[in-house]
Amino acid sequence: MGPSKRIVVLISGRGSNLQALLEAARTPNWPGQVVAVLSNRPDAPGLDVARAFGVSTQALDHRASPSREAYDESLLTHCEAHAPDVVVLAGFMRVLGDRFVRHYAGRLINIHPSLLPAFEGLHTHRRALQAGVKWAGATVHYVTPALDQGPIIAQAAVPVRADDDEARLAERVLRAEHRLLPMALAWHLNGELEWHDGVVRHRGGAPQWLITET
Ligand code: GRF
């Protein structure tokens, strides 16, 4: 097995997906290590999660930047300082510009709380309930300049229950996210994924989906 790959995680908030990654990375033979966590919000609780695991953290407050481009440039510089093999957006609530996205093309991965291409953008669970869908879920995908539209690596589906409200559905999806993201990221780091005409396939034919009831 090759050397452990370097993961930089970008967050904006709670950091529960980050925690799932940090826990996965502790398991024997997991192919990567989180080398840094960067947040655009200095008060993101996820920064404490990172610290508890002894990971280097940095807050880069977007409100201190004169422009979106300047912010992206500074974020890129700070990411590059950690020489990442992959950059993971785990609840990073800012749209990244083309330059950043192109720089990390093929090694920039996002988790989105819906079964894409349904419900891109914000408030996914509320919109799923309003639409009356019977399955909700999450998607891990490569990031391309078009928001939430990059090639899908894996998806997790959870049932929508008749008595769900936004919070209950969000919680069920989140539990699935915590399994999905480490699984998809390990595939990427192990070189187990291949691309065909913009579609991502697992070389060994592993199912690229999870179905979870609870
Ligand atoms: C998750 O639902 C993720 O899919 C979305 O933002 C949320 C982040 O939660 N992009 P957490 O910070 O990982 O707890």
Which stretch of DSSP H or E encloses residue 23?
Answer: helix 16-25
Taking the C-alpha atoms of residue 57 and residue 47, their distance in angstroms, rounded to an integer, is 6
Kindly state if the Cβ of 93 falls inside 6 Å of ligand 1.
no
> How confident is the model at residue 2, as a pLDDT?
61
pLDDT digits (tens, 9 = 90+) for 104-123: 999 999 999 999 999 999 99
Q: For the segment 50-77, what is each residue's pLDDT rounded down to a tens digit?
A: 999 999 999 999 999 999 999 999 999 9
Could you give the CA distance from residue 71 to residue 65 in angstroms, rounded to a whole number?
5
Query: Which whole number is the average pLDDT over 159-181?
Result: 98
Report the pLDDT value the prediction gives residue 1, as an integer from 0 to 100.
Answer: 56
For ligand 1, pick from 95, 111, 172 the residue to mutate: most ligand atoms within 8 Å of CB.
Answer: 111
The response to whether residue 112 sits with its C-beta less than 6 Å from ligand 1 reads yes
Choose the residue to mutate in 9, 14, 17, 126 for probing ligand 1, maximizing ligand atoms within 8 Å of C-beta.
17
Query: Beta strands 5-11 and 86-89: pairing type?
Result: parallel
- State the amino acid at position 30 in one-letter form: W
Distances 175 to 38, 94, 122, 168, 210 between C-alpha atoms, Å: 23, 23, 19, 11, 11
Q: How many other C-beta atoms are found inside a 10 Å radius of the C-beta of residue 162?
A: 5
The CA-to-CA distance between both ends of the chain, in Å, stands at 35
Report the chain's mean pLDDT, rounded to a whole number.
Answer: 96
5-9, 138-142, 148-152: which range is least confident on average? 148-152
Catalytic residue flag (residue 112): yes
Q: How far apart are CA 39 and CA 14, in angstroms?
A: 11
Q: Are 84 and 75 in contact (CB under 8 A)?
A: no
How many CA atoms lie less than 13 Å away from 85 in the CB half-sphere? 17
